[in-house]
Amino acid sequence: MSQERGVRRPPAGGGMGMGPGGRPGMGMGMPVEKAKDFKGTIKRLAGYLMPHKFLLAIVFIAAIISTIFNIVSPRFLVRQLPSCSKV
């Protein structure tokens, strides 16, 4: 216990800074922090994701197929409803 006296701990609540009223991100007049090297950050992120490029391609293809089905399915359903009500 005596060794921990000089150690600073992050504030309670997940370590995020709190604004007025205890709500995070509500500090007025605080400047927005911008990326210093956006292009370098994107290159580094791409480097991290390269070992998983096959799985990422599958995810993107599944997202595209899901979007197509979400667009087409209501139209298909509308066409099928009149024939179901006649039975």
pLDDT tens digits for 29-56?
Answer: 778 888 789 999 999 999 999 999 999 9
Let me know if residue 16 belongs to a domain: no
SS3 of 18, please? strand
Q: Which residue has the tokens 């000089």?
A: 6
Q: Which residue has the tokens 């992120």?
A: 45
Let me know if residue 34 belongs to a domain: no
Tokens describing residue 57: 């391609």
Let me know if residue 79 belongs to a domain: yes
Q: Which domain holds residue 61?
A: 53-87
What's the domain count of the chain? Answer: 1
Direct distance between the N- and C-terminal alpha carbons of the chain, in angstroms, rounded to an integer:
79
Let me know if residue 3 belongs to a domain: no
Q: Per residue in 1-18, pLDDT tens?
A: 556 666 666 555 555 555
Let me know if residue 60 belongs to a domain: yes
Closest CA relative to residue 27, chosen from 16, 38, 36: 16
What pTM does this model have? Answer: 0.48
